[in-house]
A and B are shown apart, each in its own frame.
Chain A
Amino acid sequence: MAAHLKKRVYEEFTKVVQQQQEEIATKKLRLTKPSKSAALHIDLCKATSPADALQYLLQFARKPVEAESVEGVVRILLEHYYKENDPSVRLKIASLLGLLSKTAGFSPDCIMDDAINILQNEKSHQVLAQLLDTLLAIGTKLPENQAIQMRLVDVACKHLTDTSHGVRNKCLQLLGNLGSLEKSVTKDGEGLAVRDVQKIIGDYFSDQDPRVRTAAIKAMLQLHERGLKLHQTIYNQACKLLSDDYEQVRSAAVQLIWVVSQLYPESIVPIPSSNEEIRLVDDAFGKICHMVSDGSWVVRVQAAKLLGSMEQVSSHFLEQTLDKKLMSDLRRKRTAHERAKELYSSGEFSSGRKWGDDAPKEEIDTGAVNLIESGACGAFVHGLEDEMYEVRIAAVEALCMLAQSSPSFAEKCLDFLVDMFNDEIEEVRLQSIHTMRKISNNITLREDQLDTVLAVLEDSSRDIREALHELLCCTNVSTKEGIHLALVELLKNLTKYPTDRDSIWKCLKFLGSRHPTLVLPLVPELLSTHPFFDTAEPDMDDPAYIAVLVLIFNAAKTCPTMPALFSDHTFRHYAYLRDSLSHLVPALRLPGRKLVSSAVSANITPHEDPSHQFLQQSLERVYSLQHLDPQGTQELLELTIRDLQRLGELQSELAGVADFSATYLRCQLLLIKALQEKLWNVAAPLYLKQSDLASAAAKQIMEETYKMEFMYSGVENKQVVIIHHMRLQAKALQLIVTARTTRGVDPLFGMCEKFLQEVDFFQRCFIADLPHLQDSFVDKLLDLMPRLMTSKPVEVVKIVQTMLRQSTFLHLPLPEQIHKASATIIEPAGESDNPLRFTSGLVVALDVDATLEHVQDPQSIVKVQVLYPDGQAQMIHPKPADFRNPGPGRHRLITQVYLSHTAWTEPCQVEVRLLLAYNSNSRIPKSPWIEGGEVSSQVETSIEGTIPFSKSVKVYIMPKPARR
């Protein structure tokens, strides 16, 4: 599809260019137009039977129609419509009319009269419905024309009494999409009373056909989406629909109730059969909660999802959703959660080992037990226990959203979330772990809860374990036993799944720095120090020991008394780890040791202002000083680039901006240098070799511009223009250099034309931004465009050259948020000396594990490249399922790469790295014609390529010859 669209775009562009050059082309275009409708006309006349006509129409529908010829085609279709007796052909014509009226650039108001006209004489319900659909298409194309809208609404109202549900459906859809927003619209001279669309639609809430009821509710929702304020009276009507027999009606009604509750949260509604009144949002909340135990799972999912976004609901209603009074034999019983809590607070230590442990306690007054609470009671308890995992996931999501807005609710829902960690479906477990992480600011885990949470660490799924590590990073634990428990479980996890090493260390780092006071009393035990005896020095390479140290050192950062408990070797290990795992081990203020000042000062003054100012200033400097002599400019640029690079290294939050601007400056520098070349002053044929530098510069600039465009996230259109402009300059440079170094005119001819096309293309894409490019290269070039078009290549080159030299340096506006895409390959580590042996010709799977930062849509653009020692390169596109999204802007790629090769005699290293694939077409505006057609081959202006964005890792492999 996309390719087809592209093709169409280019087709038109090329035509325009030709129009300017030679007059004949336009004539050709015109010749084709009438033939299209004429052919249709002839075909339709030829058709002897309805089936034939239908065939012709179907064939016709496969090809797109230009905007100019739409009207002619419509006329012919209409003409045929009047003659046609067969409803199926009329139906197809009606649908074609709708399709044609959607054509971009065609204003369908001229066919509306005809459409309405044929509507009045139509008998077949199906055709009627299709015609209404056509009218809807017309109406939506003309959103400004009030009169037409009114007229269409009128037509819709007239047909609302039709006996066919299809027609009524379409009428309601029409009303929903076109019903006038403001009641005070000036009345037409014809005396069309402005109708109360809401009232009309509301009447159909009680239609006999469920499909019409659904359509009515949907139409109402559509009105809301278009900005019409729904009346509050609809609420009561919608509530009645909640007990409808049909699930689609109930599902839509739930949505409608939600909408109304968001519109009038504070208004008061009476509770039936009592004198009390409550807020509407609470009432709606209760009703939607009730729908969580609906018979149809579609409705349950819908209800559970919507619950999450009802934040204005009162807290006692909210807390009821987790409430389920247990009883046994009419006696009150405590839930397992309550028992667990009590056990915890009483400090007792048996847990339900006796049979009678959950024995019911007090008697319940039979009158007071309400089995079907008319409210929110236990909605989430039901939702989380639902049969369908879709409902459970929706419920977990809703819990998450509500808990984020209400800390007290977060505390209460914790037990239920922890329970969900044991769900049978992995997706649900994962979702609940993520949810817990998101609300972790509001909660503190009790020991028994922590116990359950930690039990999941043994899960065989890597995703679950890593999600859990992330969760532990940001949970609050209440006791030192809790910390100890967590550590023990994590170490157990480490021995069971050694691949989790990094994730566990990171987890312990945060666990330590969050709970320094809880770690403190554990230190002697953890380090197994003894007050009198020296203990054996632990093995420094043991991951478990490192894990313990990471925990302790991070806790010690904010707990100055802790280092006193360390033994000598701990200090030595600290120094070692501080160097080798600096991202996990913080700088410590150790007694008798000088603190590395820089590290701390960086922490103390994280004020970003001065550095940001510095960045701004250095850029200003460059931009203002462009009329210096070339030598000075070059030096200044070089200096600034160096500054920026250093700044990027120092200040991680500015790295993106700094790198981005440095790259831009480097391009500029290259351009200046290239233009400074001596070759321009000397006769062309003499300087074949020296031109290398200039063409190399052009090539490099091109590369850099692609990097700028595709490797940074957050690049806005403003920057894209500048980048493209820079690329255009590079192309110009390339043109000049080739012109200088090649003999003969023929190749030049093609190049010139191509370059001019590029310029034209540039103008087309960024027409809106051209005013910002005053005085730039392209600005001047476009001024001279007519002249260039007619000039000979040699002259073109000359003009381009002078203009390139005169062009000014464009100011690159800095985007708000810009980040450079980067990737680190964690696995394979590339340290192994043992080659991976496999039989040549067969494949071996290599596990690749990498983290990607600031990559948008990694599923489609990230590739893995394998470079074999013989220069053979292989590109692998990972499956979309291999990407996980652990946090905003971060992705994780866990995949398997299959390697294969013919036999080698010695083990050798292959390189593995990650690439970003780009396609220069992605930013081009797309044409809206819809119908599919044949896909064109590559268009020459689209450039695809890849940018490496990770360090390559070497893997030792050894394909052995197969033994026979």
Chain B
Amino acid sequence: MPEIRVTPLGAGQDVGRSCILVSIGGKNVMLDCGMHMGFNDDRRFPDFSYITRNGRLTDFLDCVIISHFHLDHCGALPYFSEMVGYDGPIYMTHPTQAICPILLEDYRKIAVDKKGEANFFTSQMIKDCMKKVVAVHLHQTVQVDDELEIKAYYAGHVLGAAMFQIKVGSESVVYTGDYNMTPDRHLGAAWIDKCRPNLLITESTYATTIRDSKRCRERDFLKKVHEAVERGGKVLIPVFALGRAQELCILLETFWERMNLKAPIYFSTGLTEKANHYYKLFITWTNQKIRKTFVQRNMFEFKHIKAFDRAFADNPGPMVVFATPGMLHAGQSLQIFRKWAGNEKNMVIMPGYCVQGTVGHKILSGQRKLEMEGRQVLEVKMQVEYMSFSAHADAKGIMQLVGQAEPESVLLVHGEAKKMEFLKQKIEQEFRVSCYMPANGETVTLPTSPSIPVGISLGLLKREMAQGLLPDAKKPRLLHGTLIMKDSNFRLVSSEQALKELGLAEHQLRFTCRVHLHDPRKEQETAVRVYSHLKSVLKEHCVQHLPDGSVTVESILIQAAAHSEDPGTKVLLVSWTYQDEELGSHLTSLLKKGLPQAAS
């Protein structure tokens, strides 16, 4: 029995270090290769020993697919390919290929240079790893080998994020990665065609949330920034360098343009500048508005947003500053925050979630006096706002995608177990498909019934087509032919041709059947009664009464004879060839029911 096996090495009932093994049609594919931000020990990378205990990675895996550049989806890649050792192809989209190494390098710097970790991958390893990458375009079908093919679909979420369809023969799996079903200011919505995969592996970060419209959030955000700037305050927006930051930039940029505002907007330099460059290049991956207007002006060439310099923080007058990192736990954003916290005209807007213990979390939970290092107490007078901008599909979006793809079964990853439970129940209830949510290391086995292609000769097909009058896609149709299995391919040919090909002579096969009828009349009369009965019942067939007293229906012969022992019983001899089996058996069952009494 063919089957699809799925084993999450990470992201099974969990968020972080996405890594899913899929075996389909004898091929093994690894989906994503991420790190976990919650751990700093071995647990931060997926447990590749699960694979390596059976030999080398390259021997086992046919390919690796990376859905997008977030570190929880690609962070373990250099470790996996260079340190554990994998030489096969790695597939990702062009923007991911471009931006991924920047983030990996940044991650490495923090781990090695700041935290002083040893035994970590090096810059050279990142470079070597990226050499193994094969970039794919959207909707491009890539043949990994003769049987395995993959295809990328647009996923929203971040620049270059993609969903992948993995297909072997007629079996297929779709892996969504992270995706977003509502468009935002710089990216469009995820889209997939009705590809009807055997299995859909979807993320479920917001399995239990239905979100409010994006517009309200945007409007609130803009209004708050606008008000603060109008009264002459400074606005600090701590962000992570990639993803949301670009969305907010576009949002502010267009708003500034629309409203003719003059206050400067700054973006802290470094990582972001490089990334912005790629955003400018990959215009085709952005949303409708940006795609349509880039000829006049590339939206990512910001007019109002300039690079930030440390000295600007003390400039008088209103300004807006985007600074990293997003949780105010260190770096530039914290420095600026300390400078501005004392003035009630100023404002800080937290656009995302903050981990407990960070300054961001403290001020969000309403703390107004912060203890900084060196026993200083910082009094926070500035306004603190929270604004959630997240690019994952909510419960409705997930359901929408499932509805679009029409899979045979669904598998949930990248979410919390409790929330998955709810979504699983909903999916099973509304789509009536099976739904799985394996934990890490747990294997789901999915039996499939792949269709086997059979070739049919055109002549036979046309001949059979000509018999039926009306096309009806839904009704099965009976077709006579011979199935020839030769060299592992199947062909359906007409029996004559089969005989010819195999060099066989044709044998006639005839069925005969005796039906006992209780009828005291003469044989001829019985025959006439049978004739009239059949004539009335089988209107579509040619029923004839031959002069020798027998009745024929098409090529089926019926003869009536008196029973040798019981003269009150007549024996009907029905005889038909193998080709007429259908009609013949129908006829006998008809005759067995007896003749209608009306005639007597």
Which residues of A approach B to under 8 Å, CB–CB?
A: 161, 163, 203-204, 206-208, 245, 293, 295, 324-330, 333, 335-337, 352-355, 366, 369-372, 378, 381, 384-389, 416, 419-420, 422-425, 452, 455, 458-461, 496
Asked if A389 and B289 make an inter-chain contact with CB atoms under 8 angstroms apart, the answer reads: yes
Residues of B within 8 A of A208 (CB): 471, 473
Give chain B nearest CB distance to A716 CB in angstroms.
Answer: 44
- Shortest 8 CB-CB contacts between residues of A and residues of B: A336-B216, A387-B183, A419-B215, A355-B386, A355-B364, A458-B259, A371-B399, A330-B208
Given A329-B209, A337-B216, A419-B213, also A161-B469 (CB < 8 A)? yes
Asked if A366 and B218 make an inter-chain contact with CB atoms under 8 angstroms apart, the answer reads: no
Q: Show 14 residue pairs from A and B whose CB-CB distance is below 8 angstroms, ordered by the A residue.
A: A163-B465, A206-B474, A295-B191, A324-B210, A326-B211, A328-B209, A329-B209, A354-B366, A355-B365, A370-B430, A371-B395, A372-B403, A372-B430, A387-B287
Asked if B399 and A422 make an inter-chain contact with CB atoms under 8 angstroms apart, the answer reads: no
Residues of B within 8 A of A245 (CB): 194
Residues of A within 8 A of B182 (CB): 385
Asked if A387 and B189 make an inter-chain contact with CB atoms under 8 angstroms apart, the answer reads: yes
Asked if A295 and B254 make an inter-chain contact with CB atoms under 8 angstroms apart, the answer reads: no
Residues of A within 8 A of B288 (CB): 387-389
Give chain B nearest CB distance to A166 CB in angstroms.
Answer: 16
Asked if A419 and B219 make an inter-chain contact with CB atoms under 8 angstroms apart, the answer reads: yes
Of the four ranges (under 10, 10 to 19, 20 to 34, 35 or more), the interface on chain B belongs to 35 or more
Residues of A within 8 A of B386 (CB): 354-355
* B383 contacts partner chain A, Cβ-Cβ < 8 Å: yes
Nearest A-chain residue to B208, judged by Cβ: A330
CA distance A822 to B188 in the complex (A): 47
Residues of B within 8 A of A366 (CB): 422, 425
Partner of B220, one of A293, A295, A352: A352
Asked if B470 and A203 make an inter-chain contact with CB atoms under 8 angstroms apart, the answer reads: yes
CA distance A337 to B217 in the complex (A): 11
Asked if B383 and A372 make an inter-chain contact with CB atoms under 8 angstroms apart, the answer reads: no
Residues of B within 8 A of A203 (CB): 470
Partner of B214, one of A324, A355, A385, A458: A385
Partner of B473, one of A206, A333, A355, A384: A206
Asked if A420 and B215 make an inter-chain contact with CB atoms under 8 angstroms apart, the answer reads: yes
Q: Is the interface of A mostly helix, strand, loop or mixed?
A: loop
* B42 contacts partner chain A, Cβ-Cβ < 8 Å: no
CA distance A206 to B194 in the complex (A): 18
Asked if B470 and A425 make an inter-chain contact with CB atoms under 8 angstroms apart, the answer reads: no
Asked if A336 and B220 make an inter-chain contact with CB atoms under 8 angstroms apart, the answer reads: yes
* B193 contacts partner chain A, Cβ-Cβ < 8 Å: yes
Asked if B399 and A372 make an inter-chain contact with CB atoms under 8 angstroms apart, the answer reads: yes
Asked if B210 and A353 make an inter-chain contact with CB atoms under 8 angstroms apart, the answer reads: no
Give chain A nearest CB distance to B54 CB in angstroms.
Answer: 40
Asked if A327 and B210 make an inter-chain contact with CB atoms under 8 angstroms apart, the answer reads: yes
* B561 contacts partner chain A, Cβ-Cβ < 8 Å: no
Residues of A within 8 A of B465 (CB): 163
Give chain B nearest CB distance to A810 CB in angstroms.
Answer: 58
Give chain A nearest CB distance to B210 CB in angstroms.
Answer: 5
Partner of A295, one of B192, B222, B395: B192
Residues of A within 8 A of B396 (CB): 324, 371-372, 378
Of B365, B399, B471, the most chain A CB neighbours within 10 A belong to B471
Nearest B-chain residue to A360, judged by Cβ: B209
* B487 contacts partner chain A, Cβ-Cβ < 8 Å: no
Residues of A within 8 A of B222 (CB): 422
Partner of A329, one of B218, B223, B419, B426: B419
Partner of A353, one of B212, B365, B383, B469: B383
Q: Which of B205-248 contact A (CB under 8 A)?
A: 208-220, 222-223, 226
CA distance A800 to B194 in the complex (A): 80
Nearest A-chain residue to B396, judged by Cβ: A371
Give chain A nearest CB distance to B184 CB in angstroms.
Answer: 9
CA distance A366 to B182 in the complex (A): 24
Residues of A within 8 A of B185 (CB): 424
Apart from A206-B471, A207-B471, what are 9 other A-B pairs with CB-CB below 8 Å? A163-B465, A295-B194, A353-B385, A366-B422, A371-B395, A384-B215, A422-B222, A425-B289, A459-B259
Nearest B-chain residue to A455, judged by Cβ: B223
Residues of A within 8 A of B472 (CB): 206
Of A208, A328, A333, A378, the most chain B CB neighbours within 10 A belong to A328
Given A353-B383, A372-B399, A460-B260, also A295-B215 (CB < 8 A)? no
Residues of A within 8 A of B474 (CB): 206
Asked if B212 and A336 make an inter-chain contact with CB atoms under 8 angstroms apart, the answer reads: yes
Residues of B within 8 A of A335 (CB): 212-213, 216
CA distance A460 to B261 in the complex (A): 10
Give chain B nearest CB distance to A722 CB in angstroms.
Answer: 52
Asked if B259 and A460 make an inter-chain contact with CB atoms under 8 angstroms apart, the answer reads: yes
Residues of B within 8 A of A388 (CB): 288
Give chain B nearest CB distance to A324 CB in angstroms.
Answer: 7
Asked if A422 and B189 make an inter-chain contact with CB atoms under 8 angstroms apart, the answer reads: no
Give chain A nearest CB distance to B106 CB in angstroms.
Answer: 28
CA distance A386 to B213 in the complex (A): 11
Give chain B nearest CB distance to A73 CB in angstroms.
Answer: 39
Residues of B within 8 A of A326 (CB): 210-212
Residues of B within 8 A of A420 (CB): 215
Given A208-B471, A330-B422, A387-B189, also A355-B183 (CB < 8 A)? no
CA distance A419 to B430 in the complex (A): 32
Asked if B430 and A371 make an inter-chain contact with CB atoms under 8 angstroms apart, the answer reads: yes
Nearest A-chain residue to B218, judged by Cβ: A422
Given A203-B470, A327-B208, A461-B258, also A424-B220 (CB < 8 A)? no
Given A455-B223, A459-B258, also A327-B214 (CB < 8 A)? no
Give chain B nearest CB distance to A149 CB in angstroms.
Answer: 23
Residues of A within 8 A of B220 (CB): 336, 352
Give chain B nearest CB distance to A803 CB in angstroms.
Answer: 66
Give chain A nearest CB distance to B405 CB in angstroms.
Answer: 9
Residues of B within 8 A of A293 (CB): 400
CA distance A419 to B213 in the complex (A): 9
Residues of A within 8 A of B194 (CB): 245, 295
CA distance A327 to B470 in the complex (A): 51
CA distance A519 to B95 in the complex (A): 58
Asked if B400 and A385 make an inter-chain contact with CB atoms under 8 angstroms apart, the answer reads: no
CA distance A711 to B375 in the complex (A): 84
